[in-house]
Amino acid sequence: MTDPHLPPVSRPNVQFDFSGQRALVTGGGKGIGREIASLLARSGAAVVAVSRSAEDLFSLSRETGCEGVAADLGTVDGAKRAAEAAGPIDLLVNNAGIALLEPFLDATPEAFDQTMNVNVRAALIVSQVVARGMIARRTAGAIVNVSSQSSSVGLPLHAAYCASKGALDQLTRVMAIELGPHGIRVNAVNPTVTLTPMGQMAWGDPARSAPMLSRIPLGRFAQPLDVAQAVAYLLSDGAAMINGVMLPVDGGFLTS
Ligand code: NAP
């Protein structure tokens, strides 16, 4: 039973209108990205989802009508080709990410490189292709990078992951400054633990999740919809003067 003293989990009752706009969501096959792709599609956007697993893209397409592009964003060529295959884009969400957990003393260069390639370099490459297209078409656009609360706090076992999200925040700031004059807004969302396959993998052990949960004033972890609605807001005209922010979606974790 739900504790009546806790705030309600987000319900899909917030309305957005992205009619006539084309969106690209990376990592749209599972978890947060799938929820973002679904919300944007329900809100009238034509959505292209990029993911590694083709089966996830098939089921997403069946359920929501999103187009799918199967690609490995961890390679330079894969990221560039996927962005080009998506066609002209108005709204971009760089959501694809991986978390390879290792104690710091045993952290491997391979896992570090792989993490940076997917979590940071792919966002750079995909955004370059998309933003060049927006500028050539003289279209105002919006980009949201899915970062994490771990960009500004250290978490055990998350050396490469925390470093990648800190880098993604900084990439977001530079993009906001350089693309703003072209009418392209760039922001980030920084979720707390979110109940997805990745969240389950990293925080499924109650011994690890309990201390984290105790630091969230709202008393719960995030649902994918909590994050998707924040992303949709930053993409929307409601956020027309918001550029270069890192928006925590963390129930107050970062202020506690
Ligand atoms: P998830 O459940 O693991 O889903 C990640 C999605 O990204 C999957 O569809 C995955 O496809 C795709 N992806 C991963 N590597 C890829 C690659 N190299 N090429 C193409 N697609 C790739 O993760 P999530 O929890 O939804 O996380 C989404 C984003 O939110 C990530 O950037 C993550 O860092 C961030 N975030 C998550 C949490 C959390 O607690 N869950 C908290 C804060 C921030 P495959 O499964 O086919 O590989």
- Tell me the β-bridge partners of 247: 189
What would the pLDDT profile of 17-52 be if each residue is shown by its tens digit? Answer: 999 999 999 999 999 999 999 999 999 999 999 999
What would the pLDDT profile of 184-228 be if each residue is shown by its tens digit? Answer: 999 999 999 999 999 989 888 999 899 999 999 999 999 999 999
Three-state DSSP class for 93? strand
User: Do the domain assignments include residue 41?
Assistant: yes
For residues 179 and 233, what is the distance between their CA atoms, to the nearest angstrom? 19
pLDDT at 33: 98
Q: Which residues contact 105 (CB under 8 A, 6 or more apart)?
A: none
Question: Averaged over 125-131, what is the pLDDT?
Answer: 99
88: left (phi over 0), alpha (psi -120 to 50) or beta: beta
Q: Which atom of ligand 1 is nearest to the CA of 195?
A: 41
For residue 252 and ligand 1, the question of a CB distance below 6 A is answered with no
DSSP 205: S
User: Do the domain assignments include residue 207?
Assistant: no
User: Do the domain assignments include residue 238?
Assistant: yes
For residue 197 and ligand 1, the question of a CB distance below 6 A is answered with yes
For residues 103 and 111, what is the distance between their CA atoms, to the nearest angstrom? 12
> Catalytic: 30?
no
Q: Which atom of ligand 1 is nearest to the CA of 202?
A: 40
pLDDT at 256: 85
% residues pLDDT > 70 (the chain): 95
What would the pLDDT profile of 45-81 be if each residue is shown by its tens digit? Answer: 999 999 999 999 999 999 999 999 999 999 999 999 9
Q: Which atom of ligand 1 is nearest to the CA of 74?
A: 18
pLDDT at 182: 98
For residue 123 and ligand 1, the question of a CB distance below 6 A is answered with no
> Catalytic: 80?
no
User: Do the domain assignments include residue 162?
Assistant: yes
Give the distance from CA 2 to its chain's centroid.
Answer: 28
Three-state DSSP class for 139? coil
Q: Which of 30, 80, 165, 233 is flagged as catalytic?
A: 165
User: Do the domain assignments include residue 112?
Assistant: yes
Instruction: Considering only CA atoms, give the Rg of the chain.
Output: 17
CATH number, domain with residue 235 = 3.40.50.720
Question: Averaged over 97-119, what is the pLDDT?
Answer: 98
User: Do the domain assignments include residue 209?
Assistant: no
User: Do the domain assignments include residue 220?
Assistant: no
DSSP 248: E
pLDDT at 10: 61
Number of domains in the chain: 1
Q: Which of 6, 43, 9, 2 is nearest to 23 (CA)?
A: 43
Give the DSSP H/E element, type plus range, for residue 92.
Answer: strand 91-94
What's the whole-number average pLDDT of the chain? 95
Residue 157: give the domain boundaries.
Answer: 22-194+226-245
User: Do the domain assignments include residue 189?
Assistant: yes
pLDDT at 91: 99
Ligand 1 centroid vs 166 CA: distance in angstroms? 17
pLDDT at 14: 85
Residue type, 53: S
DSSP 236: S
Our mutation pick for probing the ligand 1 site, out of 190, 196, 201, counting the most ligand atoms within 8 A of Cβ, is 196
pLDDT at 151: 98
Q: Which of 48, 12, 46 is nearest to 28 (CA)?
A: 48
Stretch among 3-7, 83-87, 179-183, 188-192 having the lowest mean pLDDT: 3-7
Q: Which of 30, 80, 161, 233 is flagged as catalytic?
A: 161
